[in-house]
Amino acid sequence: MARQINTRIIGTFNGVIYYKWRNDYYLRIKGNTGRQAPVAKTQSHILGQAAAVSARLRACFSTMLSKPTNRGLMYRLNNALQQWLRTGGSASAMPVNDIASLNGFSFRKGISPLTIKLGRRQDGGLSLYLPAFDSPNPISPLPFKGRIQLSVIIASCSLTNRSEVNMFETSLDISYNGIPIPEQELQLPLPAKPGCITVAAVSINKQAAGIVGALYN
C-alpha cells in the first residue's frame, strides 16, 4: 500500500479525522480511506480557506499582536472565519456590511470600551467612526493621562487569490481633558474590492487591541 507523505493529523471528533495533506485540509471517517463525500469536500474547503485568510490577516496585524505565533489566537481567528464561511456569506451577491463572528474579536485584553465602527460612505469608500467624548463627569484623573492613541490597520484579502493582500496603517492621537469632543470620522484610502474580505483592527494606547469591523464585497 502506498504511504502518505506530507500528511498531518489536526484532530479527531466523533469519529471524524481532520487532517492536512500538502496545502489542503480534509476530513474522513475513521477506517474510510475512499473518496471524500460532498459534505467533507465542502468542509475541507472551508477549513483551508479560513486558515489561509487567517494567516494573511495575522501577518497584516502582526504589530498589534503580543505574540504573532500564538497558536491559541490562530485557532480562535480560524474558527471565527469558519463560522462566517459556513453561513454562505462569501457567496452573497450583495455587499456584506457586518461579519458578526469577527466584530469585537480580541487580540489581547479585549477590545476597548470605545465604540468604534467600520462602515461604508455614500461614495462607496470606507471610514472608521469614532464615538463622542462627552462625559459630564469624566474620571479623575483621566485614563491614559488624558491622551488616547489609536493605532489603526485595515487589511483586505481576496478569498480566491492568496497573493492579493492590501493593507493601510495609520495612527490618531486624541487629547481629552473633559471638554466634549464630537464624533469623528476617519476616512480610509483602502477600497473594498469584489471578492475580498476587509477587516479593521484598532489598538488603544498599545494595550487593548482587536477587530472593530469586517465586511465583504
The residue to which cell 480557506 is assigned: 49
Is residue 177 a contact partner of residue 142, using CB atoms and an 8 Å limit? yes
Is residue 80 a contact partner of residue 87, using CB atoms and an 8 Å limit? no
Across 33-37, 69-73, 127-131, 178-182, the highest mean pLDDT is recorded for: 127-131
Looking at every residue in the chain, the average pLDDT score rounds to 80
pLDDT in tens, 17-69: 766 666 666 666 555 555 556 666 777 788 888 999 999 999 999 999 877 67
Task: Give the strand pairing for 208-216 and 184-188.
Answer: unpaired
pLDDT at residue 190 tops 50: yes
pLDDT at residue 140 tops 60: no
Cα atoms in the Cβ-side hemisphere of radius 13 Å centred on 140: 3
Strands of 208-216's sheet in order across: 165-175, 147-158, 196-204, 208-216
Please give the Cα distance from 4 to 213 (Å, whole number): 41
> Which range is least confidently modeled, 11-15, 58-62, 155-159?
11-15
